[in-house]
Amino acid sequence: AANMRLNFADEEVIHFGIIPKSNRGIFVINEIPDLQARIQVSLFNILEEGDIQIRGFKLRMPLDILFVFTANPEDYTNRGSIVTPLKDRIESQILTHYPKNIEHALLITEQEADITEEQKVRVRVSDMVKRIIEQVAFEARTSEFVDKKSGVSARLTIAAYENAVSSAERRALLNNEKETQVWMSDLVGIIPSITGKIELVYEGEQEGPYQVAFNLLEKAFRSQFVNYFPNPELFKKRKGAGEENPYKPITGWFDKGNHL
């Protein structure tokens, strides 16, 4: 205004913000509940009338903008909420969901996990280990100790996969091994990524985050075990039916007092 010798009421001195500058574009606001209510209110007119008004100026500027908002479920965080009139002006609401099956979950984790090329060369991850990691999340979503609405982070398996690889890599470095693969014992290393990604109900808090995470890992082992080996429960039911129990030599060895 000073350079052009204009007063502050002149339209030429208006400094347009980022939204007007995005005209005929796509404007994305991440975590919309985190915006203060007064800022959310300022979006009403843009969404309803398709124009912007500037206080102090007799100006209505039409805008052609596609707004995209993202947010967690309202019961997932206490940081804020979307004011009701703004929610009413959002034309479509798309609800996401957890992967319906392990096959889809595997693809997502494979895509999102941050594994370096060096780690991929040094550490191999079998399909069975990948499925056990995914199974942990499925077990958590049905656990009585985990909150059903918001208790399992979508990032759980991603963090667990990265921790499993790093645990195997650490073991390889300690043993001066050039290559290795993720062992079952390495999966103990994913427990910290489970405890940080689940929200427990009261009973779960009493049980303890570490114990709940350990139990989820144990259940994941059991669920995936029968996909690769004969179900031990079936042989218990067929006791005396004449069918050879493949686990009998193993259980017999422990029955003699042996231990690992």
Domain presence at residue 247: no
Contact 166, 130 (CB under 8 A): no
Q: At 160, is the secondary structure helix, strand, or coil?
A: helix
Together in a domain, 60 and 176: no
Kindly tell me the sign of the dihedral angle through the C-alpha atoms of 110, 112, 117, 121: negative
Together in a domain, 171 and 47: no
Q: pTM of the full predicted structure?
A: 0.78
Q: Which residues pair with 27 in a beta bridge?
A: 67
Count of structural domains within the chain: 2
* Token pair listed for 256: 């003699």
218 CB-near residues (< 8 Å, 6+ apart): none
What pLDDT score was predicted for residue 96? Answer: 83
Kindly tell me the sign of the dihedral angle through the C-alpha atoms of 48, 51, 57, 59: negative
Phi, psi at residue 127, to the nearest 5°? -60, -35
User: What's the CATH code of the domain at 172?
Assistant: 1.10.8.80
Q: Which residues of 74-112 are buried (b: 16+ CB within 10 A; e: fewer)?
A: eeeeeebebbeebeeeeeeeeeeeebeebeebbeebeee
Residue range 142-177, pLDDT digits in tens:
999 998 877 788 899 999 999 999 999 999 999 999
What pLDDT score was predicted for residue 238? Answer: 67
Together in a domain, 110 and 60: no
Together in a domain, 42 and 147: no
Together in a domain, 114 and 229: yes
* Token pair listed for 50: 């398709």
C-alpha closest to that of 68 among 21, 24, 32, 23: 32
Together in a domain, 235 and 119: yes
Q: Supply the range of the domain harboring residue 132.
A: 102-240
Burial class (CB in 10 A: 0-12, 13-18, 19+), 123: buried
Together in a domain, 225 and 109: yes
pLDDT along the chain (260 residues), means of 10: 67 79 92 90 90 78 91 64 89 88 95 94 95 96 88 91 96 94 95 92 93 96 93 74 78 88
What pLDDT score was predicted for residue 233? Answer: 84
Phi, psi at residue 200, to the nearest 5°? -95, 150
